[in-house]
Amino acid sequence: MPRVSTYSAVQFCGATSVGLGEQRESSYWRVSNLKIVNGAQTTGSIAKVYAKNAKAVANAYVQLKVISLENAPVDIAHRITTATNTQNRVEAKDFLALEPLQDGLAEGFRKVGVQYCFRRGERVLDVQNGLEVHEHAMTLAISGESMANVVMAKRNAGSLTDRDGHYPKLFAQEIDVKTAWYSVKRWRAAASAVESFGNALHGRDAQIAVHGNRFMEHILLRQDASPTVENIQTLHDKLKIVLDELFSDSYLAVVFKNAKKCEILRTRVEPPKSGTEPQVSC
């Protein structure tokens, strides 16, 4: 079992895993906390074949490279993942496979009968009983109080699952999986309804629904309103009036990616609350 001493020692390709190893005899090892950091396509293919013919998998042979993390730098798993995935485009969310938090969420969802996918190659088998990490992140961003999160969901959705991006802000607090699953289903319904509503419109009306979809979903979830055509139409009408009044000369795509302007829109389309209305800052 290779031990890591320098970064150059892990610049290779192939099926790779990391773990804590202890040599028991000359040719036997005890490995704990094993995690696959390269080989998602291989393991995914095995899973597909196993689902069709389990006996065929029993006769298969897969070469596995195991690297001991004993006395290794704390960030070595991240570095190994980067080094061994150079043959494929590595997305930011791929590194979530190494996140203990995501492992914990997957286990929590499993206990309530919900599949949670956060690794490359994983697919939700039944959308009625499963979700992907990007849906969870999107729901956290859309359903919260922070307009910065809502705007980020529109401006750069990939950042929501990027450990070096917006991800830490969304997953900083303890998450109850039952509440999270309920929220995801509500967001899905709102997103689908807003999209369908926008598809039936034309011109500027359609552009409001397209560019303002995340904002509209946010308002619907905050108001705990069912995403009916009537409720969406009412929200759209209010939004159109305020946009024409305050931002008639602005590109809609820019307006809905500006947190300050969206804050102003929110105060105008939601029922009034205590406090003063923010000043327009174009």
pLDDT at 103 over 50: yes
pLDDT band of 85, cuts 50, 70, 90: low
Instruction: Kindly report the number of other CB atoms within 10 A of residue 118's CB atom.
Output: 22
pLDDT at 13 over 50: no
Q: Which residue has the higher pLDDT, 52 or 199?
A: 199
Per the prediction, the chain carries an average pLDDT of 83
What is the arithmetic mean of pLDDT over 113-135?
Answer: 93
The torsion defined by the Cα of 234, 240, 241 and 242, in degrees rounded to 10, comes to 110
Q: What is the pLDDT of residue 110?
A: 96
Q: d(Cα 152, Cα 141) in Å, to the nearest integer?
A: 8
Q: Which residue has the higher pLDDT, 20 or 208?
A: 208
Q: What is the pLDDT of residue 11?
A: 38
Please state the separation of Cα 272 from the chain's center in Å. 32
Task: Give residue-wise pLDDT tens across range 24-58.
Answer: 555 677 777 777 766 767 777 788 888 888 888 88
The DSSP string of 134-145 is HHHHHHHHHHSS
Q: What is the pLDDT of residue 264?
A: 97
Strands ordered across the beta sheet of 29-38: 29-38, 16-23, 65-68
Cβ neighbours of residue 105 under 8 Å, at least 6 residues apart?
116, 118, 136, 175, 177, 180
pLDDT band of 282, cuts 50, 70, 90: very low
Are 266 and 147 a contacting pair, CB within 8 Å?
yes
pLDDT at 71 over 60: yes
Q: Please choose, from the candidates 201, 199, 242, 194, the residue with its C-alpha nearest in 3D space to the C-alpha of residue 219.
A: 194
Q: What is the pLDDT of residue 105?
A: 96
Q: What is the pLDDT of residue 75?
A: 62
Q: d(Cα 217, Cα 212) in Å, to the nearest integer?
A: 9
Task: Give residue-wise pLDDT tens across range 173-183.
Answer: 889 999 999 99
Helix (H, G, I), strand (E, B) or coil at 199: helix
162: left (phi over 0), alpha (psi -120 to 50) or beta: beta
Q: Which residue has the higher pLDDT, 19 or 228?
A: 228
Task: Give residue-wise pLDDT tens across range 237-254.
Answer: 999 999 999 999 999 999
Q: Which residue has the higher pLDDT, 200 or 40?
A: 200
Q: d(Cα 119, Cα 102) in Å, to the nearest integer?
A: 9
